[in-house]
Structure 1
Amino acid sequence: MLPEIVSFDRQITLVGDSGIQFMDFGLSLGRLPAGEFVKLANGVLTRLIYNEQRDYYFYQPTPDNIEKAKSQYDIPVEQSLKLFDGIWLPLPLFRFSPPNVYQEGPLNWARFRLVKLPEPDLDGHSHRMTLAIDTRIMAKQQAAADLSPNQEDVNAGATFAVATATYALNWYLTQDWITDWLKEVFKEASKGRDIDEREQELAQQYPLAHYLNLLSLMAIPVEGLQIQTEPVIELPQFRVIANQETNAIKPIAVDLILDVGNSRTCGILIEDHGQSGSGMRHNYVLKLRDLSAPEHIYTDPFESRVEFSQAFFGKDHCSVRSGRHDAFQWPTIARIGGEASRLAARRKGSEGSTGLSSPKRYLWDEKFYGQGWRFNGSYVQDSNPLATAAPFANLIDERGEALHTIEDEMDRIPVFTPRYSRSSLMTFMLAEVLTQAISQINSPEQRIRQGHAGIPRQLRHIILTVPPGMPMAERCVLDERMRQAVGLVWKSLRWHNGENDPYKDVQEEHTEANIKIPLPKIRVEWDEASCAQLVYLYTEINQNFAGHPEEFFDAIGRPDRTDRESITIASIDIGGGTTDLVITDYRLDHNGHTGGGTNVHIIPNQRFRDSFKIAGDDILLDVIQSYVLPAFEQALREVGVMSTETLMSQLCGSQNISAAEAVLRQQLSLQLFVPLALHILGTYEHYDPLDEQTHTLINQRVGDLLPVGCIRDEVEGFVRREVQKAGGPTDFKLADIMLNLPLAKLHGDLCAGKFSIDKVLTALCEVLSYYHCDLLLLTGRPSQLPGIQAIIRRNLPLPPGRILPLHGYQTGTWYPFHKNGHIDDPKSTASVGAMLTQLCANHSIPNFHFRTSELKPYSTIRHIGTIDMDNLIRDADIVYQHIESENGQIKLPAITEENGEKTTQSIVMRGDLRLGYRQLNAERWTAAPLYTLRFSEEGRKKFSSAQSTDNGSPYLKVRLAIDKGKRARQLGLISDRLTIADVSSNTDKSFSKRDLDLELNTMPDRGLIDSRHWLDSGSVKK
C-alpha cells in the first residue's frame, strides 16, 4: 500500500544515528511549464525562472540580485519525470541560515526518488516522492570534505534546507560524482536511441537540465517575481537532534512485539510515555518499507519469506567519489515480507538459492548449506553475485554466525563463500525486522503521530512469541538468533565498537566506552495461544464488563461450576506451521483486599499445552493436491499428453531435474499452484452451508482468476517445452487451464476428514472434553474456514455456543489491527496479546491486573522414541517414557543394569534414525520430530566394514544424556537438549561419539521425497 501523506511543519527534527529515515510526499503535475535553460559564463548550467507579470526569464547569481537571461533550450518537466522515474538521485540538502544563506555542505546525506503511480492515489496525486536521509553523525575533521552533519550541528541546532537557486547550487553542480551519476542514468535510459543525438544532448548538459527540472518542483517561488507562492513539493527544513538523553530529557522507551510464524509475521511497537495506561494509547503496527519500491509500505501481517537482495539508494560507485564510502549503507542483506515474495516470484531460474519460504521452518538446521546463497537478480543488471555485502558480511562467518559469538578469535574469519546455515537466515530476517523497526520509531512521521516529536525513541525490549509446544532447545536457538541479530545491527550502525559480543560488554559494564545506543532486552517466553486468550479476557472485562472481572467470571462460567471466581479457557491456534492447544485455569485473587470488587489479580495456571506440525500449510497443500493438480492434469490430458503422470512428476513432483529446472519448478508452484489454492480458500472463507447464495461454483480459466503477469514468461516457457516433449502442442498456455470446483464439495471433503488436519483437530477435541472448559477460542487465519469450525463442532468438546472464533470478534478501537472495531485477521491476536502481557508485566494497564509471572514455560516432552513416516511413535519404539523435569532440565528415566549400576536406556542403531516425542501416553497421539541420529562420514565407512561378534547383524547401542543447558538456564527454561553420552556395538570395530551426529531436526515428513519444505522445493505431487 502507499503510505499516508503527512503535513509536516515548516521545520521538523531528525534523530541523529537512527539509520536511514524515509519521508513521503505526493504531487499532482497539472500543467507545468517546460524548464528553460542557459549555460552561464563559468560553464555551469542553470534553470531560468519566469517572471509572468513582466514576461522575462532570470536567475539569481546571489540571494539579493537577479540577472535576466535568454533561454538556450527547453525540456518539459514531464520528460524529466519519465527519464528519472524510479531512480534514486542525490539531493542538495545544505546547512541554512535565514533568510537565504546556504553553506557548501553537507554534501552527501540526502537522496530522493520520484515515481509515477499506476493510478492516482486517494488525494489525486499522480506521483510519489520518497526522501531518504542518512542520519549518521560524522566526526568533524579539519580539511576534510563536509559530507554529513556533525556533532557541532547537533549541539548548535543547525538548520538544513534543500537548495534550488543558482547561487546555492553552482558549486554543487560541478562535482564530478554528481555529473557522472546523472550521465550514467541518462545513458541507461537512452539505450536504443541514435548515438549522435545522445552525444549532442550530453554535450549540452541535458542530464543536468533534467535534474534541475526535478529540483524546481521543490523550489520556493521568488517573492514578488512569481505569481505562484507555494512549491509543487513543499519540503520542510530540518534540524538534527541527538539520539540520547539531552538536558535531563530521556529518550522514550519502545517495546517491539514480534509473532514470527511459519507463514506470516506480525509486529507491534509500544511507546512508554511514562503515564498510566499510555501503552494502550501509544502503540502502533510495525510497518515494512519496500526497499526496491520504496513508495510502498506493508502494514498487515507480512509473509515470513526471506530473499537475499541488496538495498541500493542510487549509484554507490559515484557516491564513494564524494569522499564518503559508507553513505546509505543499509545494515542487512535480506529482504522480507511482500518485497521478498515479489523478488522470489521474479527469479529468472538460473540464480541458484536466493532465499527461503520461512527460516522458522529451518530453525533447527545449523549445518552449512552446501548449495550456497546468491543475491536475487530481479532488479539488477549483473548476474547474481554471491550473497555477501558490507557491512553485514564483514561481521558474519561462512555459516552465517555472528563473529562476535565465536569464542576463538582465530576462527573469526568473515564470510568469503556464503554457505549460511538455514537456521542463520532467521538471524538475517530478524535483523531486517529490527532495522525497519529502528527506522520507523524515529521517523518524523511516527514521532509526530505519537506526540513529543522532539524526543528520540530507543528500543527497550524485544518480545518474541512462540508456539506452546516448541521444544526448549529450539527456543534457545530462537533467542540466540535474536541476540545475534541485535548485535549485528548495532555493529552495522556503529552503535557498538570493538569485536566483543555487545551483550557481554553490558554485563561487564563496558557500556560507556563501547555502546552508543542501549541494547534492548530480549524475552522469548510467552506462547501464542495464551496471548490470544488474554486479548479475549481484556476485551470482555474492560470493554464489556466495565472492569469487573468477578462479574465476567460468574457470567462465563459453566452452570455446573461451583467456584464462580474461576474459569477454564481453551484456545486452538491454527497457524501456518503449527496447530496449538492451550488450556488455562484463571482464578481471582483478593489477597490484601477484603470483600469482592474489581481490585483483584487474575492468576493463570496452564493445565495443558501442545503443538502439532500439521496446520495451515498442510491445508494449502491438500487443496493443491486435491483440486488444483487434478485440473492441471486434466488440461494436459485434453491437449494430447499421453503420460501425464510422468510429466506431472517432472513439473511438480520429485523427479530429478537440472538445477535451473528445479528453480522453475518452484516458480511454477509459487506463481500458479499456491495462488490458485489461496484463491480457493479465500473464496471458501465466505461459504455458509445454510446460505445457498454463498454456494459458489468456481468454474473459470486460470487467467481470469490470477492477476495479470502473475505467471512469468520463463515459467510459461518451461511448462510449454516439457508439454511439447511429452507429445503436446507448442502453444499450451497455463492461463487456459479450467478450474472447476463447487465449494460445497470442498466443504464436504473437509468435514468428511479427507484433509490431514482433521486427525489433529479430532485429537485436540478429545483432550478438551476431558478438561471441562468454559470456553474455546479459535484463532489463526485457517480458523476462519467453515469446515474447520464444523470439524470442531462435530466433535462437540463444548456446547456450540461456547466455541468462539475470534475472526470478526468485536474488540473496540483499542485493538491495533482492528477493522471497524472488529478482529479482521486472527493472526494478529498473538502479537496483540503479547503486547497486553508486556503491559501487564509492567503494571501499565489501569484496572486490569494480570499475573504474567505465572505463565511459566515447561517442556512438553514426555515420551521419546523413533518416529515413523506417519509421524507416530509406536509403543514398541519408545526409548524413554514418563520423562519428568528436575533441577532445570528434563530427566531421562533410569534403568538398572545387570551389575546393579543405574543408567539410561540405549537406542539400538542400525542406520540413520529420526527421533521424536509426544506428550501423552497414547500410541495414536501425533508425535513431533525432534532429532536425527546418523553416522558421520567416518562412522559410516567404519560401520559398513564392521563384522558382528555374535553371528547376528551389526548394530550400535547409543546412550543419550541431557545437555546441562547453560543458555536455557540463563533464559529460565527447562533444558531438553540431548547429547550422545556413549556408544557401544556388537562388532569388531570400536565406535565413539565422533562416529555419530545427533542433530536437532523438527521438520515433519510430508510424504514428499524432497527434504526441503514443499514451498521451497515446489514438489507438491506425492
Structure 2
Amino acid sequence: MLPEIINFEEVATLVSHSGVQFMDFGLTLEPRKHPAGEFMYLSTADKMLTRLLVNEEDGSLFHEIEPGKFETVKRPQFDMAMATSLEQLNAAWLPLPFFRFRPPRKFDEGPANWARMRLTELDEADIDGHTHRLTLAFDTQTLPRRDNTAYLCPTNDDVNSGANFRLATSTSHMRWFLDQTWVREWLEELFREANPKLDSQEMREGLEECQHLAHYLNVLSLLRRPIEEEHSKQDPYVEIPDIKVISQQEGVIPVDLVLDVGNSRTCGILIEDHGQSGMGLKHNYVLELRDLVDPERVYREPFESRIEFSQTFFGKDHLSVKSGRHDAFLWPTIARVGVEAGRLAGRRRGTEGSTGLSSPKRYLWDDDTYRHGWRFNSAYVRTDTEPHATAAPFSHLINELGDALYTLDEEDQLPVFKPHYSRSSLMTFMLAEVLAQALMQMNSPAQRVRQGHTNRPRHLRSITLTVPPALPQAERSLFVSRLEQAVALIWKSLGWHDGEEESNPFEASDDGTLRVPMPRLRVEWDEASCGQLVYLYTEIKENFAGHPEEFFATLARPDKADRERISLATIDIGGGTTDLVITDYHLDRNGSASGGSNVFVVPEQRFRDGFRVAGDDILLDVIQLFILPSLEAALKEAGVASPDAMMSRLCGQEGANAQDQVLRQQLNLQVFTPLGLALLESYEAFDPEQPTGPETLTYGERLGEQAVSDSVHRYVENALRRELGLDCNFSLMSIPLTFNLLEVHRAFLKDRFNICKTLASLCEVIFQYQCDNLLLTGRPSRLPGVQAYLRKMLPLPPGRILPMQGYRTGSWYPFHRNGRIDDPKSTASVGAMLCLLCAQRSLSNFFFNAAALRPYSTIRHIGLIDNNNTIPDADVTYRDITTTENGTTIQLDNEGMDEPPVIEMRGPLRIGFRQLSAQRWAASPLYTLDFTPSGAEKLAKAEANGGQAPVLKVRLGVDERAGKGSLISDRLKVVSVETDGESSFSTRDLKLQLNTLNDAGLGDTNYWLDSGSVKRI
C-alpha cells in the first residue's frame, strides 16, 4: 500500500544517526500537457545547462545568473518534453541538491551527498488523485566538520546550531553540484540505461548535448517553489519543507517494540511512553515495513515471515563513493522480509546456492553449516550473476556460520568470506531487518508528526517476542540468542556502539561506548495466552465498565460454585503450529472481604501443548486436494500417458538438477501457492447455510496473465515436449480451475485435512477440563470448516466457542477494522502489548498479574518417533519426566530403576517427545541421532570384520553447560555409548542434533514451501 501523505510544517526535523529516513509526497501531473522545459548552455566549454524560467506577465524567458540577479534570454537553445524526462527517470534514485540554506537566498556548497529522490508514476491514481509519488531519502549520519575536507553530510555543528537545509533547484545555486564528477556520471549512466536502442553515435550526441542534464533539471523543476520574478499564479506541484537535523540524545521518548514472529507471518506493535499515567493505549501504532525495492510502498498488515538475501541500493553506489563518502546510504542489513521477500523469491533467476527461506523460525534448530551457500537475490538488479550474500557493514560483524563475532572465542573471530550461514542464523538476519525497519519508523518525520512531540527523538527501550506455548526450552534459548545477536549487530551497524567489533554491546553500559542504550529483551509470554488477554481486557474494560467480578460471574458455567474463577481455553492455529492453552483466572483481593473491582486478575495455566500441524499444512492439503487435480486433468488431455509421473517430476520429490530445483520452487511460489491462497481466501467468506455454486476460471484469470515468469512456462512446456516428443500447444495459464467451496467445507467435516486429527485431540482435552469459554485465534481460525469441525466435536456448548475473527473490541485495538478484529493473527502481538503495559502498570482500572505467566517444559515422555509422528509405548525411553526450577529444568534419571534407560541404536534415529502418556497422543520431533564421520567409519569396519553391525546402547543426559540460565533446560547430550560387540565407540562418534521439523528425514531437510515439492508420493 502507499504511505500516508503528511502535511509537514515549513521546517521538518530529522533525528541524527537514525539511519536512512524517508519522506513521502504526492504529485498530480499530466506529463503530456506539461510545457516542455526550455534550456540554454551557460558554458560551451563544460556543457553546463540551465533551465529557463518564464515571466508569466509578458512571456519573457530569464534565468538566475547568481542569487538575486537575473538575465533575460531571447530564445532557448533547445527544449525537452517533460513526459520524456519523467519516462526516462521514472523510479530511478537521483542525487538531490539539499544544501545548508542561509536566508534570504544563499546556499552553502553542501552537504553534497546526503539526500536522494525517486519520482515514481503510479499504476493508478491514489485516493487523493496523485498520479506520482515522490520519495525523498536522507542519510542522517553526522560527522565533525574538518578543515580542508569536502562538505558531504551534515556536521555536528549543524545540529548544535540548528542549521536549516533547503532544496536547491536553480543552476545558480547548484552549478558546483552538477559539476561533480560522480553526479555527472550518475546521470550519464541513467541516460544510457534508459535509451538502450540508441546506437553509439546517437548516444554520444545525446550526451554532448547534455540531454541527461536536461532530463534531471526537468524533473527537479517539479519540486521547486515559484519565485517572485515569475509572477506565477500556479501553486507548486509539491511543498518540500526545509530540514533541520536534531540531536539523537535530547528529550528522548522511550519506545517498546512487541513482535509476534510466526512460521508463516509476523506482525508487530510499537508503544511510545509519553510519561502520562494510564495512557499506554493512546500512543501505539502498527509496525510497518517499507519496501526497499519499491520504496513508495509500505506494508502495515501482518507480513510474510519469508526472508531473502538482497542488497539495498539507493542509486549508483559505485559512483557515490567517488564523492568521498564510502558509507553513504548504507542499509544496516543484507536481507529482506515480508512482501518484498516473497516477490524476490518468486522471481529468482540463479541456481548457485540459495537466496532465502520460507521461514527462519521453522529452521531455528539447524545450527550446522549450510553447504549450498547463500547468494544475493538479483531479481531486480541488472546482472547475470548472484553474488555471495556478504556486504558491509553486517558481514564485517559475523562469521561464516552467521554468528556474531562478539559471541565467539578470540581465536574464532574471523569475518565471513564465503557465506555458509546456518539456517538457524537466518533468524538473526530476519530479526535484524525487522528491527532496522522499526527503528527507522519510530524516528521517521511522518511518525513523529502523527504521535506528537515532533522534535523529540525516540529510543527503543524494550523488545518483547511471543513464543508458541509448547516451544521446547532448547529452541526458545536459540530464539533468545538470535534476538540478542540481531540487536547487537544492528547497534554496531548503525554506529551506536563505539566499541571493538568483537566486544559485546550488552556488556558496555558503563564504558561510554554506547551512543544509544541497549533495549531490554523479553521472550516469555506465549501467543495463545496473549490472545486470552485481549478477550479479558475487552470484556472487563469495554463491556463490563472495568468490573472483573461482574464479568467472571456472568461467564462462569451455571454449575460452578466459585464465581470469581473462570477457565479459558484457546486453540491458536498459526502457520506452523496449532497450540492449546487452558488457563484458570481468579480475582486476588489480597485477603480483603470487599467485593469491588479493585483486584488483581491472576492467571494459572493448567495445560499447554502444541502440534506442528497448522495453517501451512491446510494450504498444502488444499493444493493437493483441489489445485493439482486440475493440472493432472490438463496433462492427460494434452496426451500425457502418465500424468502422475510427470507431476512427480514437475512438483514432486523426484530428483532434479539445480536449475530444475529452482524452477520447481518457482512453479509452486508463482502458481500453486497463490491459487491455494486464493481458494482459502474465497472460502473464508463462505457461508455454509447459504452456499454458493462452483466457479470455474482459468489459471490466468485467477492469477493475472503476467503473474508467471517465462522460465516457469518453459519449464512446464519442456517437460511436455520431452514426454510427447513434439511441440505441443499447451498453456499453463489456460488450465480451467473450479472453486467448489462446498466441497472444501465437506472435506473438513469428513476429516480429509491433516489438521482435523489434531483438532479432535485438542477438543478431547478441553472437554476434560470443563472450560467456561473456548477462544479461536490465528488466521486459519477464520475458515468456516475449522469452526464447523470444532462445533461438530462439541468440546463445549456452541455458544461458548468464540472465534476471535469479527470480535468487537472497539477502537483501542491497533489492528481493528470498524472496531472489530479482522485478522485473529494479530491477537498475539496485541495481547503481548497488554502484558507489557500491565507489567509496567500503564493501564488504568485493569490489573493483570503478567508475571504469573511463566514458561515451563512440556516434555514428559521421550522416545523414538515414527513416521506418523507418534511414539509407541515400546519405544518410550524416558517416562514421566519431572521438572524443577519452576518447571523449566527436566530430570531424566528415573528413580527406582536399577539401570539408567538407554536407546538402542542400529542406525540413524529420530527422537521426540510427548506430554501425555497415551500412546495415540501426537509427539513432537526434537532430535536426530546419527553417526559422525568417524563413527560411520568405525561402523563400516565392524560390519566388514564381523559381518554383523553392532548395536549401540546410548544414554542421554541434560546438557547443563549449553547456553545461559535455565532456558536451555531441555537441551540434551550423549552421556555414554556402549556396544554389544568388540568394537569400541565413544560419544565423539555420535551426533545428537536438535531437529524439530515435522517431516524431517535424515538427509537434506527442506520444507515444501522451500523445495516446491507439493505432490504426494
Range of TM-score over shorter length: over 0.9
Hey, what's the Cα distance between the residues in 2 that align with 1:231 and 1:967?
A: 60
Instruction: Return the offset for 1:497.
Output: 2.1
Q: Who is 2:580 aligned against?
A: 581
Which sits farther off after the overlay, 949-958 or 156-165?
949-958
Matches of 1:852 and 1:660, distance apart in 2: 51
- Following the alignment from structure 2 to structure 1, what is the Cα–Cα distance between the partners of residues 1003 and 753? 20
Q: Separation in 1 of the partners of 2:622 and 2:995?
A: 27
* Aligned equivalents of 1:517, 1:449: Cα separation in 2: 23
Structure 2 distance, partners of 1:213, 1:949, is 84
Could you tell me whether the CA contact under 8 Å between 1:950 and 1:986 is conserved in 2?
A: no
TM-score when normalising by structure 2: 0.97
* One-letter amino acid of the structure 1 residue matched with residue 693 of structure 2: T
Q: Deviations over 1:668-721 (max 9, x none)?
A: 111111111111111111222211xx3331322111111231111110110001
Residue 256 of structure 2: aligned partner: 255
1:202 aligns with one of 199, 207, 229: 207
Aligned to 2:64: 60
CA shift digits 1:509-535 (9 cap, x unpaired): 4441x1111111111110000000000
CA change 1:981–1:20 in 2 (3 A) is: same
| Counterpart in the other structure of 2:845 | 847
Question: Matched residues in 2 for 1:404 and 1:1008: separation?
Answer: 32
Deviates more, 1:43-52 or 1:18-27: 43-52
- Residue 230 of structure 1: how far off its partner (Å): 3.7
Q: CA–CA distance in 2 between the matches of 1:864 and 1:653?
A: 33
Q: Give the one of 901, 918, 921 matched to 1:905.
A: 901
**1:193–1:549 CA distance, 2 compared to 1 (3 A):** same
C-alpha distance in 1 between matches for 2:594 and 2:633: 72
- The residue number in structure 1 matching 2:984 is 990
Report the secondary structure of 2:138's partner residue: strand
Q: Are 1:947 and 1:988, in contact at CA under 8 Å, matched by a contact in 2?
A: no
* 3-state SS of 2:351 partner: coil
Which residue number in structure 2 is paired with residue 700 of structure 1?
A: 697
Letter in 1 for 2:476: R
Contact 1:872 1:927 in 2 (8 A): yes
| Alpha-carbon distance, 1:638 to partner | 0.6
1:232 Cα shift?
1.5
Q: Secondary structure at the match of 2:524?
A: strand
Residue number in structure 1 paired with 2:406:
404
Equivalent-residue separation in structure 1 for 2:692 and 2:79 (angstroms): 62
Note closer, same or farther for the CA distance 1:974–1:335 as it changes in structure 2 (3 Å cut): closer
Post-superposition offset of 1:933: 0.6
Give the letter aligned to residue 421 of structure 1: S
Q: Is the 8 A contact 2:261 2:466 kept in 1?
A: yes
Distance, in Å, in 2 between the alignment partners of 1:624 and 1:833 is 33
Distance across 1 between alignment mates of 2:230 and 2:355: 56
CA shift for structure 1 position 731:
2.2
Pairing of 1:668-707 with structure 2 (within 5 A): 668-691=667-690, 694-707=691-704
Q: Is contact 2:524-2:855 (8 Å) kept?
A: yes
1:385 alignment counterpart: 387
1:484-517 deviations in whole A, cap 9, x for unaligned? 1111111111111233666x454464441x1111
Q: 1:967 & 1:463 partners in 2: Cα distance?
A: 20
User: Partner of 2:923 in structure 1?
Assistant: 927
**What residue number does 1:88 align with?**
93
Give the distance between the partners of 2:315 and 2:349, measured in 1 at CA: 23
Residue 973 of structure 1 and its aligned partner are, at CA, apart by 3.2
* C-alpha distance after superposition, 1:226-269 (max 9, x if no partner): 3136422211001111111x3xx3x1111111101111001110
Q: Which moved more, 1:624-633 or 1:721-730?
A: 721-730
- For the 8 Å contact 1:948–1:986, the answer to whether it is kept is no
For residues 224 and 893 of structure 2, what CA distance do their matches in structure 1 show? 78
State the SS of the aligned residue for 2:79.
strand
Contact in 2 for aligned 1:857/1:973 (Cα 8 Å) = no
Instruction: Find out whether 1:759 has 2:757 as its counterpart.
Output: yes
- CA deviation after TM superposition for structure 1 residue 197, in Å: 2.4
Residue equivalent to 2:486 = 485
Letter in 2 for 1:161: R
Amino acid aligned to 2:932: S
Give the partner amino acid of 1:68. T
What SS does structure 2 have at the residue aligned with 1:990? coil
Counterpart residue number, 2:719: 722
Distance 1:478 1:1006 in 2: 20
Amino acid at match of 1:118: D
Cα deviation for residue 953 of structure 1 reads 4.9
Give secondary structure in 1 for the equivalent of 2:220. helix
Q: Is the 8 A contact 1:352 1:663 kept in 2?
A: no
Distance 1:1007 1:324, change over 3 A: closer
Q: Matches of residues 798-877 of structure 1 in structure 2 within 5 Å? A: 798-877=796-875
Deviation (angstroms), 1:883: 0.5
What does 1:288-687 correspond to in 2, within 5 Å? 288-348=289-349, 350-382=351-383, 383-407=385-409, 409-499=410-500, 504-507=504-507, 509-512=509-512, 514-591=513-590, 593-687=592-686
CA shift for structure 1 position 64:
1.9
SS across alignment from 2:601: strand
Q: Quick check: 2:928–2:1002 contact (8 Å CA) kept in 1?
A: no
Amino acid at match of 2:659: A
User: What is the SS of the residue equivalent to 1:945?
Assistant: helix
Tell me the amino acid that sits aligned with residue 646 of structure 1: A
How high is the TM-score relative to the length of structure 1? 0.97
Find the aligned partners of 2:193 and 2:622 in 1 and give their Cα distance: 45
| 2:912 paired residue among 893, 911, 916 | 916
In the TM superposition, 1:763-782 aligns within 5 A as 763-782=761-780
Q: Report sequence identity in percent.
A: 55
Deviation per residue, 1:60-103 (Å, 9 max, x gap): 12222111123100112221111111110000111112221110
Provide the C-alpha distance between the structure 2 equivalents of 1:989 and 1:715, rounded to a whole number of angstroms.
Answer: 53
How many residues are matched? 1007
Out of 36, 39, 49, which is 2:53 matched to?
Answer: 49
- Tell me if the contact between 2:169 and 2:221 (Cα under 8 Å) persists in the aligned partners: yes
Question: What CA distance in whole angstroms lies between the structure 2 residues aligned with 1:753 and 1:525?
Answer: 35
Q: Which runs of 5+ in 2 are unaligned?
A: none
Secondary structure of the corresponding residue to residue 819 of structure 1: coil
Secondary structure in 1 matching 2:17: coil
CA distance in 2, matches of 1:580, 1:881: 23
SS of aligned partner of 1:850:
coil
Q: Secondary structure at the match of 2:571?
A: strand
Which letter does structure 1 place at the counterpart of 2:683?
Y
Query: How many Å separate the matches in 1 of 2:26 and 2:947?
Result: 83
**Would the alpha carbon gap of residues 955 and 739 (structure 1) be closer, same or farther in structure 2, given more than 3 Å must change?**
same
Contact 2:428 2:485 in 1 (8 A): yes
Conservation of the 8 A alpha-carbon contact between 1:223 and 1:229: no
Partner Cα separation in structure 1 for residue 786 and residue 619 of structure 2: 13
The 1-side partners of 2:841 and 2:116 are apart by 43
Query: For the residues of structure 2 that align with 1:47 and 1:918, how far apart are their CA atoms?
Result: 75
Verify the 8 A CA contact 1:881 1:893 in the aligned structure 2: no
CA deviation profile, 1:921-973 (whole Å, cap 9, x unmatched) = 0100000000011000110110122169999751111111101156452xx63
Q: Secondary structure at the match of 2:325?
A: coil
Q: What residue number does 2:879 align with?
A: 881
Q: What is the distance in 1 between the residues matched to 2:419 and 2:5?
A: 40
Question: Equivalent residue of 1:321, what SS?
Answer: helix
- Whichever residue aligns with residue 388 of structure 2, its letter is L
- Equivalents in 2 of 1:107, 1:1007: separation in Å? 56
- 1:1011 equivalent in structure 2: 1005
Distance 1:950 1:563, change over 3 A: farther
CA distance in 1, matches of 2:214, 2:755: 63
**Structure 1 CA distance for aligned equivalents of residues 506 and 958 of structure 2:** 30
Displacement of 1:1010: 6.7
In the alignment, the residues of structure 1 paired with residue 831 and residue 915 of structure 2 have an alpha-carbon distance, to the nearest angstrom, of: 26
Higher deviation after alignment, 112-121 or 188-197: 188-197
- State the Cα distance separating 1:130 from its structure 2 match: 0.5
Which whole-Å CA distance do the structure 2 matches of 1:232 and 1:907 have between them?
75
